[in-house]
Structures are given as structure tokens and as C-alpha cells.
Amino acid sequence: MKICLACNQRFDQVTWTCPHCGQTPSLKEGYLAFAPELAQASEGFEAKFFAQLVEVEANNFWFRSRNRLIIWALQRYFPQARNFLEIGCGTGFVLSGIERAFPHLTVSGSEIFTKGLEFAAQRLTHAQLFQMDARQIPFDNEFEVAGAFDVLEHIQEDTTVLGEMYKTTFRGGELYSLFPNTLGYGVKMMNTVIMFAGIQRKN
């Protein structure tokens, strides 16, 4: 289900033109943009780093190991998933690994910076890419799996993002996230995950 960020109405159709208010998301650098005012600059990360990342990811032990862990988790716990959304897909390194491991999967990637999407588009073969603010995701009950990998720690409103991710997944779907435990950040986020798990059980 799509959400119009102008009038907050839900709708289910192929195009993004809202049937309630007529609003259509703009295009930024060729990508659907749901937060175009943040496409070039935002707090927590600098777009200039994407060019550096794309040079090192494929041969760096951390990025390669992280991909193996994510793919293992998906194969172990949700091998029959039909669609997947990555929040903060950056240069598309994670999504490219998922595309290869799960050719049947419909994959989507969101990134606040259009510069990251430019690199991701070069790596990916069939992913849907769009510019988006993770604090306001324009989907409701749309994806079976959503993930954010080394993203939440860059966002001040991290629990808001987790809530938005929870909203965007199907009932019975799954959320995947990786983040550092710097200064107890991991403990904080685990407590938040437990809170959302409690909400899910109540529903």
C-alpha cells in the first residue's frame, strides 16, 4: 500500500499519483523523490563518501562478511520472501548481493542521497530505487522484509525509523538491522526491538 505524504491517504495502484489529492512525487536526478529537499545534503553522513565506499566495498572484509551474514539470515529465516526493501541502500552493495542470492526476489532500495542511488543503479539489474527520508516511509503493509544496515546510528530519530520500518512490513514479515554497539548503542536498539516485538504479539 502506498502512502501520499501530502495528504497521508493510503492507496493501492501502480502509479504514484494520489487519487485523493492528485499529488505526484517529483523526480530528482531521474529517481522518484519523496524528500527532495534532503537529496543533496543531510545530517549524519556526507554524500562525498559514496565514491570512496564504492572503491573499497567489494574487497573489504567487513562489507563482504556483512553481506554473507545478511544473505545467510534471509536464507535461514525467510527463504520464500517475495519482496525486500533496504533503507539507506547507499551504493547498492548489499542489494547487489541479495539480487544474486535471491534472483526471484523483488528488491527495492531507498537512499536519502541521490548520489548514492547513482552508484547503486550501476550495480543492480532490476531493483526499484527511490530517494526517501527513512523517518517518513511512503509505504504501509507493502514488504515482507525490510532492512537497514549500518544506517540507524546515523539518524538522530532512530526509533522513529524502526517504527516506520515496522509499519511498512506485512503482518508476519521481518525486520533486519545491523548497527555498532558503540557507547551502548546496540543495547539501546535491542531494547527498542523488544518493544516492537511486544507490539507485534499484542496485534
Give the model confidence (pLDDT) of 43-58 as tens digits.
Answer: 667 778 899 999 999 9
The CA angle 177-182-188, to the nearest 5 degrees, is 60
Per-residue tens of pLDDT for the chain, all 203 residues = 999 999 999 999 999 999 999 999 999 999 999 999 998 866 667 778 899 999 999 999 999 999 999 999 999 999 999 999 999 999 999 999 999 999 999 999 999 999 999 999 999 999 999 999 999 999 999 999 999 998 988 888 988 998 999 999 998 888 898 877 655 555 555 554 544 444 443 34
Phi first, then psi: what are they for 178, rounded to 5°? -125, 140
CATH class of the domain defined by 32-202 = alpha beta
β-strands 10-11, 2-3 pairing? antiparallel
- Global pTM? 0.88
Residue extents of the structural domains in the chain = 32-202
* Residue 199, pLDDT score: 43
